[in-house]
Amino acid sequence: MKLLFLGDLLGRAGRDAAIKAIPELRAKLKLDFVAVNAENASHGFGLGPDMADALFKAGADVITLGNHAWDRREIIPYIAQEKRLIRPLNYPPGTPGQGSALVTLADGRKVLIAQAMGRLFMDPLNCPFMTMDELLTRHRLGNSLHAIILDIHAEASSEKMAFGHAFDGRVSAVVGTHTHIPTADHQIFPRGTAYCSDLGMCGDYDSVIGMSKDAAIARFIRKMPGERLTPAEGPATVCGAFIETGEDGLATRIEPVRLGGRLRPTLPEV
C-alpha cells in the first residue's frame, strides 16, 4: 500500500498548495491513502468546516488536528458528524470527536489512523503511550487491517522518538506533526515501523514556523504581548512523507516529500 501524510497546513498558503498538490500526488505516487494535518489551516489557528470539506474533496482520506483543534468553534458540531476528521486520542473522556478513524478504501482494504498528543512542553493530557496501547489491543495489523498510521503531535523529538519505538512492529508508521519543521530522520525501525520525527508544515518557510516574521521576532525580543501573529502568505512548500507497506502491513519504505516554495524539492521514485 502507498500512503502519503502531509504535515500541518498553515493558513491559506498551505491550504491552497495542499489542495492543488493532493490530486497530483495521488496520481504521480499511485497513492492508496492520503492523510493531512490541518490544525493550523484557518489563518494559523484551527480548521473551518468549509476547509475540511475542500480537503476531502481534493482527495484527503483523513484529516488530523492537534492542540489547535478547537480554535475554530464551528468544528465542534462538524467533528461530531465527520468520522474522517480526528483529534488527539488522549483528550479527556467526553471531548467531542474521535481520536482514531478506521477507513475502508475503494478496493475494500482497511486503514486505521490515530493521533496522540505529547505532554512535554504541552498540555497535561492522559498518557499518550497508555492510551494508544489500549487502542492497539483492539486493532492489530493482519488480514482485515492492512495499515495502521499513528500521528504523534508533540513538541519534543525525544518524546516522539520514544513513542515511535514503543509501537515498533505493531503499526505501519509513526510520524510526527506540530513543530512545523521537517526532520531528516526517515527510517524503518528494527521491527518494521516507518518513522519520522516531524513531517514539517505545508506553508511559507520565509516565516517563523509559518507566521509572519516581524511580529514573531518582536515577541521574542520585547517579551510583551504584541501584534497578533498572522500567517506568512508567500509560496508554500508542501511537506510530508511517502510510506509504502508490504503484505504484512509493516513498512518497506519511507521517504520525504517536498514540493514548491523555498525548500529543496524531493519526490520519491514510484
What residues line the site for Fe ion (CB under 5 A)? 8, 39-40, 66-67, 178
Nearest to 177 by CA among 204, 200, 193, 149: 200
Question: Minimal distance in Å, beta carbon 169 to Fe ion?
Answer: 27
Closer Cβ to Fe ion, 177 or 245, answer by number: 177
Chain-centre distance for alpha carbon 173: 12
Residue 29 vs 202, nearer CB to Fe ion: 202
The single residue of 68, 146, 153, 178 carrying the catalytic annotation is 68
Strands 33-37 and 62-64: what pairing?
Answer: parallel
Nearest-approach distance from CB 8 to Fe ion, in angstroms: 4
Torsion sign over Cα 44, 182, 6, 113? negative
Identify which of residues 216 and 250 has a Cβ nearer to Fe ion in the complex: 216
Q: Which is nearer to Fe ion, 8 or 204 (CB)?
A: 8
- Please state the closest distance from residue 253 (CB atom) to Fe ion, in A: 26
Cα(163)–Cα(157) distance, integer angstroms: 10
Q: How many angstroms separate the Cα of 118 from the Cα of each of 129, 161, 183, 196?
A: 9, 11, 17, 15
CB of 106 to Fe ion, least distance (A): 30
Whether 146 is catalytic: no
User: Which amino acids are annotated catalytic?
Assistant: 68
